[in-house]
């Protein structure tokens, strides 16, 4: 069964601190993994896409890592800002006759001053 699990479900950190969000998947065959950011009241927005051959990819203060052997990905946020408060969703496409996607439930991050 194709599944995506994220942890923690929620996280509160102080502004300026770093944090790491986790995503474990059982999707096979694997093609890529995506991290989305969803602000309250808005649709998800893509942060980064990791392919099988990529171990690390950065987008500003966001750094995603991928371990295809253990089927784990992490999203590290450096020097957090209040605007980072959002839900972060891990998405993994799979082929079921046609390309489909499996969403994680997301990690709700709250950055407090």
Site mask for another protein (CB under 8 A), range 48-77, x = bound = -x----------------------------
d(C-alpha 52, C-alpha 66), whole Å: 8
- 100 near another protein (CB under 8 A): yes
- 105 near another protein (CB under 8 A): yes
User: DSSP string covering 56-95, please?
Assistant: EEEETTEEEEEETTTTEEEEEE-S--GGG-EEEEEEEEEE
Whichever of 51 and 113 has its CB closer to another protein, that residue is 51
Contact region with another protein (CB under 8 A), list: 20-28, 44-52, 53-61, 68-76: 44-52
Name the maximum alpha-carbon separation found in the chain.
48
- 44 near another protein (CB under 8 A): yes
d(C-alpha 58, C-alpha 48), whole Å: 8
Residues near another protein, by CB under 8 A: 31, 34, 41-46, 49, 89, 91, 93-96, 98-101, 103-106, 108
């Amino acid at each position: 069964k194709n599944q995506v699990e994220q942890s923690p479900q929620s996280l509160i950190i102080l502004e300026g601190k770093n944090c790491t969000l986790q995503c474990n998947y059982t999707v096979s065959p694997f093609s890529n993994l995506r991290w989305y950011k969803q602000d309250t009241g808005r649709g998800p927005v893509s942060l980064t896409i990791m392919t099988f051959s990529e171990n690390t990819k950065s987008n500003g203060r966001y750094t995603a890592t991928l371990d295809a052997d253990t089927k784990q990905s992490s999203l590290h946020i450096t020097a957090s800002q209040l605007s980072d408060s959002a839900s972060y969703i891990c998405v993994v496409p799979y082929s079921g006759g046609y390309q489909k996607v499996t969403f994680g439930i997301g990690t709700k991050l709250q950055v407090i001053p």
